[in-house]
Amino acid sequence: MSPFKLRSAAWFDGDDEVAVLHRVAAGISADDRGRAVIGIADTSSALNPCQAGFAAIIPELERGIRDGGAVPLRFPVMSLGEDLMKPSAMLYRNLVAMELEEQVRAHPLDGVVYLANCDKTVPAALLAAASARLPALLLLGGSRSAPLFAGRRLGSGTDLWRALEDRRAGMLNDGEWQQLEQTLACAGGGSCNTMGTASTMALVTEALAMALPGSTGCQLGSPELAEIAYRTGRIIADAASTGGAGAGADEVMTAAAVNNALRLVAAVGGSTNAVIHLAAVSGRLGRNLDLAEVDRLWAEVPLLADVEPCGSQLAHDFHDAGGLATLAAEMLPAGLLDGAVRLASGQTMAELAKTAVTDQAVIRPVADPVLPAPTLVVVSGSLAPDGAVLKTAAASSHLWQHTGRAVVFDDYADMRTRLDDPELPVTAEDVLVVRNCGPVGVPGMPEWGMAPIPAALAAAGVRDMVRVSDGRMSGTSFGTVVLHVAPEAAVGGPLAVIADGDLICLDVAARRLDLLVETTELELRLASWQPQTNEHLRGWPKLYRDHVSQAPQGCDLDFLTSPTEESRRFVPPVVGRS
């Protein structure tokens, strides 16, 4: 077996003018020569407050890398701020994954730490790590504080959506609404402090052995977060310096680790977005995430974490209750996790479980859960031939079996325009359909799936209705919202031809979502359907729309998945000057 050789040696070894140029450009001193080089992919941005915590912990990360015998080199990467990017940060997830992969590919790096915290920076980094195939870890940037509003701590996202519903129902006046805004502004930076997409993906990242256990919910500014940063530096320095089997991120994210991640998402009532991101990660590794198998994995898992939006506490409480370790201790004896999967700390899941906090309030025993299984389901049927997802833990159980008339909105703008029109014929028993929100349709699959309750119904006390969409919803949202309907309307899925007044049947127990229209009638409608043209698209949105896959395949670009052996060759020819 040939001895392990640093990848960066292709740039830095030798005494010719090119090696000299490379060492000078990278600031590699005589003492640094022969050491592994660790890239720090920095997504900090004033446009993304969720990434605000990195400036404080990068020095600790660099110290850990140095103490581990390696050389840190920081480089900037586009940031994906969930709140400010339009039409959706999801449109740019794959772009950042490509940027990260190519930055790593083109430079003399032996390992990389991706700084990621917000909803899409985390999966973008996981995708990049899967494709770049170098030793890699993510450093998560801490969750934001929870200031008090009306005597209770504000959960990011969730409590804003609740307040919006109260306002639409006339239960929150203008002064209170303004006070809410001021309170939200006091929360500062960091990731959402609920079990939204960011916290869910943080837990997924721990389960995939791509971030240290205990990262999820760790508060921005806490000494513990700085310690995690230091340890991350030590571990990546060691992995990059020694190489060997299992060092590459692609080898770490095994199918068993993905299965664990999916079950953990169910146990915390996590974001439906996680299944899209895990499908994309699996695709990068040449594996297909089968939605029927996902539903089987979810079927036995009850809600164990009492965290918003499905519970009452916050991500900090989840962290203080032991986070992944405590969940593992509860789930392993019930056979709900694979204890042999190795984590970023070097421990197996079973070994981590021995460090659990004996908290029974925020993370509950399997025998006494917050809610019984399932917390998430996959449904399919004539309205969603390729599947759709519903977070049952955030839905009203009386709507799990429901048949209602469709009230169809052609797109998000149509929904915003007509939803509160007093003339809109809608009742609480109807099903609100918002279509053309999918990956191709916008493009970018924004979180437009959760249509608000029409104002007149909200004022009358209606708090939930069945809603169906080919879009996504925020992980902090709630309601009986069937999401990610595939195929989406924009590519001619049945959602495209549903009409006002058609009956839709949701049956969670049977895992069905059906359009109660005669097959011949449905076929006639589909035969006369024409796709909408989108001539104005150019640049990235056009490339995205032309190559993006549907939600069950992870909304990745077709030319980035299922790598061939040839495409796995990673060191570019480092010959001569650039």
Residue ranges binding ligand FES (CB under 6 A):
50, 82-83, 118-119, 156, 191-192, 196, 198
What span, in angstroms and rounded, lies between the C-alpha atoms of 108 and 200? Answer: 32
Helix (H) / strand (E) element for 114: namely: strand 111-116
What span, in angstroms and rounded, lies between the C-alpha atoms of 131 and 553? Answer: 16
Q: Considering the complex, state which of residue 119 and residue 250 has its C-beta at the smaller distance from ligand FES.
A: 119
What span, in angstroms and rounded, lies between the C-alpha atoms of 198 and 24? Answer: 39
Q: Considering the complex, state which of residue 118 and residue 362 has its C-beta at the smaller distance from ligand FES.
A: 118
Q: Considering the complex, state which of residue 193 and residue 259 has its C-beta at the smaller distance from ligand FES.
A: 193
Closest CA to 448 of 419, 415, 472: 472
Rounded least distance, CB 165 to ligand FES, Å: 19
Rounded least distance, CB 121 to ligand FES, Å: 8
Rounded least distance, CB 227 to ligand FES, Å: 22
Rounded least distance, CB 197 to ligand FES, Å: 7
If you search the block for the tokens 């796995």, which residue do you land on? 568
Q: Considering the complex, state which of residue 8 and residue 143 has its C-beta at the smaller distance from ligand FES.
A: 143
Coil, strand or helix: which one is 27? Answer: coil
- Non-local CB neighbours of 410 within 8 Å, separated by 6+ positions: 435, 436
Rounded least distance, CB 196 to ligand FES, Å: 5
> Which tokens hold the place of 27?
């600031």
Rounded least distance, CB 404 to ligand FES, Å: 32
Rounded least distance, CB 123 to ligand FES, Å: 12
User: Roughly what angle, to the nearest 10 degrees, separates helices 255-267 and 197-207?
Assistant: 140
> Which tokens hold the place of 165?
């519903």
Q: Considering the complex, state which of residue 158 and residue 254 has its C-beta at the smaller distance from ligand FES.
A: 158
Q: Which long-range contacts (CB under 8 A, 24 or more apart) does 424-429 make?
A: 424/454, 426/454, 426/456, 426/457, 427/457, 428/457, 428/460, 428/462, 428/465, 429/402, 429/404, 429/405
Torsion of CA 203, 208, 210, 213, to 10 degrees: 50
Rounded least distance, CB 144 to ligand FES, Å: 8
Q: Considering the complex, state which of residue 57 and residue 192 has its C-beta at the smaller distance from ligand FES.
A: 192
Q: Considering the complex, state which of residue 202 and residue 496 has its C-beta at the smaller distance from ligand FES.
A: 202
Q: How many CA atoms lie within 13 A of 103 on its CB side?
A: 24
Q: Considering the complex, state which of residue 193 and residue 549 has its C-beta at the smaller distance from ligand FES.
A: 193
For residue 104, report the phi and psi dihedrals to the nearest 5 degrees: -70, -45
